[in-house]
Amino acid sequence: MSRLRRSMLFVPGNNPGMMSDAHIYGSDALMFDLEDSVTLREKDAARLLVYHALKTIHYGDCERVVRVNPLSTPFGKADIEAMVAAGAQVIRLPKTETAQDILDMEAEIERAEKQFGIPIGQTRMMAAIEGALGVVNAYAIATASPRLVAIALGAEDYCANLKTSRSLEGSELLYARGAIVVAARAARIDCIDTVFSDVNNEDQLIKETQAIKQLGFDGKSVINPRQIKPVHRVFTPTQKEIAKANRILAASREAEARGSGVVALDGKMIDRPVVIRAERTLELAYASRAVFEEDEV
């Protein structure tokens, strides 16, 4: 299956202490931040710090994402140049509003890849949608470049733009979340939900993660290592779900062997989408180490 993106841990780009051990907590992705968590006078130092860290520290299986400053700022171009040279796997564009934003950033990435002898297309992209215009243009953004691996929701800026505030039940985000999931699925890329800021409220984090998983999201951004495990637990299929998925796939294989197009289990006909969901459940289970390939019935 494609890469797991259940959790993406935010790592402030000017904090060497956090940067040196960010990968030991087990998140699927790390997002080194050169944007909002770095003050204007420290942009140069943070860029150098993330550059040297990426070139030196072995982050294991964690996907290495860097959130750069927008190209409209004096820092965006240098950020991209440095991060492409450092071998960042994914460059995340903040405050994406139109497909043109993606194309502009892609041109800069390609220029840097040529400059440093990196294969064209190797550096992937992620777009953060953080405003009403971005939500309206979500599908155009999601399909703007083959480099895009995911789109993500940034809720704080989005709520400010909408002239509302964040609530626990998240009604203000429902439309944006739905639009982003649909756009990502139509574009066949991943979608990652926004952060949950109250690190002491694990119950609510779990509730919110369950809700966004139900909407169709692939994962959630996290701001504290403590949030990783609860998020992974929500995205890991239960043993009951795994057992059911195995039975569905066994029935599907049996029908195929019989040359029958009709799959039945316990006297009920099973539609193709149910089989696809079962396949997805097992893929997630394998990837989450909840079950191993050799255990398959």
Residues that bind other proteins (CB under 8 A): 15-20, 44-45, 48-49, 51-53, 55-57, 78, 81-82, 85-87, 115-118
Rounded least distance, CB 39 to other proteins, Å:
12
> Which C-beta is closer to other proteins: that of 14 or that of 137?
14
Rounded least distance, CB 35 to other proteins, Å:
18
> Which C-beta is closer to other proteins: that of 85 or that of 140?
85
> Which C-beta is closer to other proteins: that of 46 or that of 65?
46
Rounded least distance, CB 51 to other proteins, Å:
7
> Which C-beta is closer to other proteins: that of 45 or that of 264?
45
Residues 192 and 178: their CA atoms lie apart, in Å, by 12
Rounded least distance, CB 38 to other proteins, Å:
12
> Which C-beta is closer to other proteins: that of 114 or that of 253?
114
Strands (E), the chain: 7-12, 29-33, 63-67, 90-93, 124-129, 148-153, 190-193, 219-222, 263-265, 268-270
Q: Locate 261 and state its tokens.
A: 């197009």
Amino acid symbol at 269: M
Rounded least distance, CB 219 to other proteins, Å:
28
Q: Provide the Cα torsion 84, 90, 93, 98; round to 10°.
A: 110
Residues 100 and 133: their CA atoms lie apart, in Å, by 13
Helix (H, G, I), strand (E, B) or coil at 172: helix
